[in-house]
Amino acid sequence: MAVLSRSSSTAAGGPPSPPDSAPVGPTRTNGVTIAGIALRTPYWVFTGAVGLIFLAPLLWTAVASVAPQAGTSQTDGWGIGNYETLANYQAGIWCYLANSAFVSLTTVALTLLISFLGGYAFARFRFPGRNILFLVTLAILMVPYATLLIPLYVLLNKVGLQNSLVGVALVLTMFQLPFSTFLMRISFEAVPRELDEAAMVDGCSSFSALWRVLLPAVKPGLITVGLFAFLAAWNDFMAPLILINDTERMTLPLAVSNLRGQVQGVVDYGATEAGVVVLALPCIVLFLLLQRHYVRGFMSGALKG
């Protein structure tokens, strides 16, 4: 238990990576001269402008969603009229939020469980079919989304999981497996074998060695896997678009995108802005909290090449 809490503190509360402070210049230079600052100013202005281009669309949407705007639910003064319209749209935002939360959390739980066990198997055991299974799992990346969704629609229909949020979560979990299995395999391989072998010499079964000794050691990998599974499932559009028919079973991205054709092609731009804010908020919060894990996930993709 001591091991677990220690590693969690290093995983979550490591270096303060979120950019919380005001933008100050490079502090590493030992002699900050006036000439140096003058030389760097155009650089700061230029890079700052580029950075702003990336932030501006997000900031504008957040402001516009509460600003007065003709043709929306918020015409006079500032307020949350657009959010009220969004909240009452069709089956109601709570229904869509619950659907999205269900799909995302189920996908995260399944992905964590499967890739944790699978990564352990691939990293620590030799068994017939091991290489084939690993290659086929990675091959999921090679196959277009649409190529699989058409037959999955037919198959899930046969077993009663089409038009079902469980079916969507299963499909999304499968699409997460190449990345998460690969990441968990290299996470387990980075742990010295002596650690779990020592535990087993001490009388642990392989399962309890996995649970008590290896779980804390691969926790950063699990956080990355969980983060990417959540972002993928929360934001996924195509799987629910193809698999879900009923309005009250739609996920949030589908519901918000449907706002556009609400009445005879009249688009409620205000409610769409509010919908984008609700969709983006959890992603941005998670990004800021887990930035290091997020970047590491991208980087492990780069190392694969």
Partner 1 sequence: MSVTAPSRPPSPAVRGRARPPGRQALLGWLYATPTAVFVVLLFAVPLLLVVKMSVSRWPLLTGDQGINAPDNFVKAINHRFFTDSVVFTVKYTVLATVLLLALGLGLALLVQESSRWNNLLRASFLIPSALGLASASLLFYVLYSPYASPLAPVMDHLGVTFLGSPNAALFSTTFLIVWRYAGFYMVLMLVGLQGIPADVYEAARSDGASRWQTFRKITLPLLRPTLALTTVLCVTGSLLAFEQFYILTKGGPDNSTITVVQLIYMVAFQGQNDLGVAAAISVIVLLALILINALQLRAFRSEES
Window 124-163: residues binding partner 1 (CB under 8 A): 124-130, 133, 136-137, 139-140, 142-148, 150-155
Site string for partner 1, 161-180 (x = CB under 8 A): ---------xx-xx--x---
Residue of 41, 75, 88, 291 interacting with partner 1 (CB under 8 A): 291
Smallest CA-to-CA distance from 284 within 66, 55, 86 is with 55
Contact call for residue 200 and partner 1 (CB under 8 A): yes
Q: How far apart are the first and last CA of the chain?
A: 37
CB 137 within 8 A of CB 177: yes
Contact call for residue 32 and partner 1 (CB under 8 A): no
Residue of 19, 31, 42, 77 interacting with partner 1 (CB under 8 A): 19
Which residues from 216-245 bind partner 1, rule CB under 8 A?
Answer: 231, 234-238, 241-242
Instruction: Considering the complex, state which of residue 121 and residue 223 has its C-beta at the smaller distance from partner 1.
Output: 121
DSSP string, 120-188: HHHHH---TTHHHHHHHHHHGGGS-HHHHHHHHHHHHHHTT-TT-HHHHHHHHHHHHHHHHHHHHHHHH
Residue of 5, 21, 33, 264 interacting with partner 1 (CB under 8 A): 21
Distance between CA atoms of residues 79 and 145, nearest Å: 40
* Contact partners, residue 88, CB within 8 Å, separation at least 6: none
User: What's the min distance (Å) between Cβ of 106 and partner 1?
Assistant: 13
Q: Which span sits near partner 1 by CB under 8 A: 4-12, 91-99, 197-205, 214-222?
A: 197-205
Distance between CA atoms of residues 131 and 133, nearest Å: 5
Smallest CA-to-CA distance from 81 within 94, 97, 68 is with 68
User: What's the min distance (Å) between Cβ of 183 and partner 1?
Assistant: 13
**3-state class (DSSP) for residue 266:** strand
Strand partners, 266: 263
User: What's the min distance (Å) between Cβ of 7 and partner 1?
Assistant: 22
Count of residues in contact with partner 1, rule CB under 8 A? 110
Which residues from 77-106 bind partner 1, rule CB under 8 A?
Answer: none
Which residues from 246-275 bind partner 1, rule CB under 8 A?
Answer: 253, 256-257, 260, 267, 269-270, 272-273, 275
Contact call for residue 122 and partner 1 (CB under 8 A): yes
Distance between CA atoms of residues 252 and 281, nearest Å: 13
Contact call for residue 286 and partner 1 (CB under 8 A): yes
For residue 181 the two structure tokens come to 């299995």
